[in-house]
Amino acid sequence: MRRNRTRMGFTLIELLVVIAIIALLIGILLPALGEARRAAKLAISLSNLRQFSIAAATYASDFEDRIYAFTAAPNSTYPDIRELARTGTPIRQAVGQQIDIIRRRTGRDNFPIPERHIPHVLYSHLILNDYLAQRLPEKMVVSPEDEFRINWQIDPVNNHDLGVWQPYQEPQDGNGRIHRFLIHNILARHGFTPNGIMFPVSAGMLNNLTAYDASLEAFSLPLLPLVDYVMAADGRMTVTNDTGVWYEYPDLTAQCETLFSFIELTINTELADALSFLANYDASKEAIQEVVDMPNRQIDLFIRFCLQNKHRLSSRKRASHFGVLSAEEIAQFEARRQARGATEP
């Protein structure tokens, strides 16, 4: 008599089929998860930028249309900061104001004053953080892609004490920002612009990166074979021979010509577009003021929200900021705003 045997377990083919199905599902899901993660990070970045643009607009409304910037902190509660404000150069005074904000907003009165540091390059946002009375570190100022500052914000006290990452430490790609800052500084020191006015030449440079890079390489590429260096695993380069002689009398003709072309472009295009935007912006404010008498701060918010939404005020922004206005008034605002036809430069 034959007995039926009950099969225990799976055959090899069945296991391979299951593994193949799992691998296929992973292959399908991982790109989707990665795309969702990127979309979430983009949404966070856009939200951060939107909050900052609103803060900058309200700051300008409260301070007679001035752009937020470092100055000094003569009334600081910290003696070393007051001394910098009294005797330091403009850059050192700005450093003092920066550290005054960090100390007050972090609660760390012993936060050190850095040497050889330019706060305008990466940390002018601290002015807005202080204006908004935000507690530091503030996540709004960090891109989700900036792993260094995100890691620093997770445990800022221990990371700072260990020297792992400091909030005013420039990343390795900061040379371009410093370079553009120095160009602004040179133009201002030679009287190219009136005091307190920054000529926006960096806009033309960033919109023509090919020409910008070519002007830098015109100097660096011929020099590179003359420099002996070693490259560390972390990307840091150490020069081993004396290269000072190559920097004593450099031929900077190409760089000067390129800078002149950027200045010309800025005057003829970038600056003209910016001035047109400002003129239309002021005309829009006056037209809206004729419909309803509102504070400048509210009108600025309305125009900014419209610029962010194709000249229309979204339902969410209307409910959260302009609930007291009627639908007819909102429609008139939008019509007058669109009649000016201003778009951001």
Tell me the domain boundaries of the chain.
22-171, 207-251, 271-340
| Contact partners, residue 104, CB within 8 Å, separation at least 6 | 77, 130
Query: At CA 117, angle to CA 114 and CA 119, rounded to 5?
Result: 105
pLDDT bin (cut points 50, 70, 90) of residue 90 is: confident
Q: Report the distance separating Cα 18 and Cα 26, nearest Å.
A: 12
Q: Is the pLDDT of residue 164 over 60?
A: no
Would you state the structure tokens that stand for residue 172, as one six-digit string? 């390795």
Query: At CA 16, angle to CA 13 and CA 19, rounded to 5?
Result: 155
Q: Is the pLDDT of residue 162 over 60?
A: no
Q: Is the pLDDT of residue 180 over 80?
A: no
Q: Report the distance separating Cα 67 and Cα 337, nearest Å.
A: 23
Q: Report the distance separating Cα 53 and Cα 59, nearest Å.
A: 10
Residue 7: per-residue pLDDT: 56
Whether the bond between 167 and the residue before it is cis, its omega within 30 degrees of 0, is: no
Q: Report the distance separating Cα 61 and Cα 43, nearest Å.
A: 27
Q: Is the pLDDT of residue 181 over 80?
A: no
Q: What is the mean pLDDT of residues 228-248?
A: 79
Residue 101: per-residue pLDDT: 92
Dmax over CA atoms of the chain, in Å, equals 110
Rg of the chain over Cα atoms, rounded to whole angstroms, equals 28
Q: Report the distance separating Cα 4 and Cα 92, nearest Å.
A: 91
Residue 300: per-residue pLDDT: 78
94-103 burial: b if 16+ Cβ within 10 Å, else e: bbbbbbbbbb
Q: Is the pLDDT of residue 255 over 80?
A: yes
Residue 100: per-residue pLDDT: 92
| Contact partners, residue 129, CB within 8 Å, separation at least 6 | 101, 105, 136, 138, 141
Q: Report the distance separating Cα 19 and Cα 169, nearest Å.
A: 48
Q: What is the mean pLDDT of residues 73-98?
A: 88
Residue 16: per-residue pLDDT: 79
The better pLDDT of the pair 167, 233 is held by: 233
The 3-state secondary structure of the chain, one letter per residue: CCCCCCCCCCCHHHHHHHHHHHHHHHHHHHHHHHHHHHHHHHHHHHHHHHHHHHHHHHHHHHCCCCCCCCCCCCCCCCHHHHHHHHHCCHHHHHHHHHHHHHHHHHCCCCCCCCCCCCCCCCCCHHHHHHHCCCCCCCHHHCCCCCHHHHHHHHCHHHHHHHCCCCCCCCCCCCHHHHHHHHHHHHHHHCCCCCCCCCCCHHHHHHCCHHHHHHHHHHHHHHHHHHCCEEECCCCCEEECCCCHHHHCCCCCHHHHHHHHHHHHHHHHHHHHHHHHHHHHHHHHHHHHHHHCCCCHHHHHHHHHHHHHCCCCCCHHHHHHHCCCCCHHHHHHHHHHHHHHCCCCC
Please write the tens of the pLDDT for every residue from 142-151: 887 777 677 7
Q: Report the distance separating Cα 45 and Cα 69, nearest Å.
A: 22
Q: Is the pLDDT of residue 99 over 50?
A: yes
Amino acid residing at 87: T
Q: What is the mean pLDDT of residues 115-134?
A: 84
